[in-house]
Amino acid sequence: NAGVTQTPKFQVLKTGQSMTLQCAQDMNHNSMYWYRQDPGMGLRLIYYSASEGTTDKGEVPNGYNVSRLNKREFSLRLESAAPSQTSVYFCASSERQGVAYEQYFGPGTRLTVT
Amino acid sequence: QKEVEQNSGPLSVPEGAIASLNCTYSDRGSQSFFWYRQYSGKSPELIMFIYSNGDKEDGRFTAQLNKASQYVSLLIRDSQPSDSATYLCAVIPSGFQKLVFGTGTRLLVSP
């Protein structure tokens, strides 16, 4: 059981370049999430997918797009990278049953935009 | 007002002491509360969750929830240097299926 995996682990982009961050989970969870984490700002939700076929904006969606490819995979795309998108990106997955809810995180992608 | 507030710290405690980490939240209808531990350069790791008022114990960790006062706390007994990390409080606001995180409290346990 790998849990939540993310690729790549590190990436350096120039302003204006595009890239896709990949995320996959093998826990058969319905819900998946993309966060960014910046110093002093905590974890902020970019987009989430409550179930296969649905996606919704989170707190900071501007400059990003997502695709829920299937139940396992949820990708995050930066169409035209900006220095403000330099951050650590975490993917997470969860399965909610009533009030019981546990969210598991991938190892993260450290992105630098120059 | 932020939805979930934590003191950023650092909170410094000597080895063997009790570390007390606090979190307040703004949505009175929130039902689910979580504590994550994050080591430097690593991803958040779930260590405790609590849904009902009162205390929940798991080994050296105790989560305490007081919905009337809208706070949740985490006590770490017999603190060890390996407990040094940032502790993130997270809440599911009413009507949502997503977590809202605080900015975290950095804990330093000195030998």
**A10-13 and A109-113 strand pairing:** parallel
Nearest residue of B to residue A47 by CA position?
B98
Q: How confident is residue B2, by pLDDT bands cut at 50, 70 and 90?
A: low
pLDDT for residue A97 is more than 80: no
Nearest to A101 among B8, B32, B103 (CB): B32
Chain B residues with CB-CB distance to A105 below 8 A: 43-45
For residues A33 and A105, give the distance between their C-alpha atoms in angstroms, rounded to a whole number: 9
Q: Distance from first CA to last CA of chain B, Å, rounded?
A: 37
Do the Cβ atoms of A26 and A12 come closer than 8 Å? no
pLDDT for residue A71 is more than 90: yes
What is the rounded average pLDDT of the residues A91-101?
A: 78
pLDDT for residue A99 is more than 80: no
Count of CB contacts below 8 A, A vs B?
48
What is the rounded average pLDDT of the residues A9-20?
A: 96
According to the model, what pLDDT value does residue B36 have? Answer: 96
User: Any CB–CB contact under 8 A between A27 and chain B?
Assistant: no
What is the rounded average pLDDT of the residues A53-66?
A: 94
Q: How confident is residue B88, by pLDDT bands cut at 50, 70 and 90?
A: very high
User: Any CB–CB contact under 8 A between B88 and chain A?
Assistant: yes
pLDDT for residue A98 is more than 80: no
The predicted-structure confidence for B26-77, as pLDDT tens digits, reads as follows 999 888 899 999 999 999 999 999 988 999 999 999 999 999 999 999 999 9
Peptide linkage before B10 cis (omega within 30 of 0):
yes
Among B38, B43, B65, B92, the strongest candidate for a mutation testing the A interface, having the largest count of A CBs within 10 A, is B43
* pLDDT > 90 fraction of chain A, expressed in percent and rounded: 81
